[in-house]
Structure 1
Amino acid sequence: MKVRVDPERCQGHTLCFMRAPEAFELSEIDGHSTPVADEVPEDQEAAVVEAVRSCPERAIGVF
């Protein structure tokens, strides 16, 4: 599974990081999220799917 965060949609709510802290990094400036890696390790996939569901801006996509 691959993950991406749309920087235009991300508003820095940090919910993705709360759901999947190993998969996302937060900007120290504004809290905006970026994936740690494009490819999600198999053991983190369920947490990343939960992060996608928790994003109020729908800024995270998996494929």
Structure 2
Amino acid sequence: MKVTVDQQSCVASGQCVMTADDVFDQRDEDGIVELLEAEPTDDRTEDVRQAAALCPARAIHVER
């Protein structure tokens, strides 16, 4: 799996961090998403896909 984020679309809701905090973080100054792991392990697939689905700005993109 490959994950990318669009920081310009991010609205800093934090849903991604609450769902997969080992893959996503937020910048301290403005809460914008930061990608910690662009190619998470297979055991993280469900959480990463859920984080993408919960993102109100659709700023998370997941490829298989």
Query: Deviation at 1:43?
Result: 1.3
- For residue 57 of structure 1, give the secondary structure of its aligned residue in structure 2: coil
Tell me the matched-pair count. Answer: 63
Unaligned runs of 5+ in 1: none
- Counterpart CA distance in 1 for 2:16 and 2:48 is 8
One-letter amino acid of the counterpart of residue 24, structure 1: F
Query: 2:30 matched to 1:30?
Result: yes
In percent, how many aligned pairs have the same letter? 35
Query: Deviation at 1:8?
Result: 1.0
CA RMSD of aligned residues (A): 0.8
Structure 1 runs of 4+ with >6 Å offset: none
Query: 2:48 matched to 1:48?
Result: yes
Query: Deviation at 1:54?
Result: 0.3
Query: Deviation at 1:5?
Result: 0.7
- Counterpart CA distance in 1 for 2:58 and 2:22 is 20
Unaligned runs of 5+ in 2: none
- For residue 4 of structure 1, give the secondary structure of its aligned residue in structure 2: strand
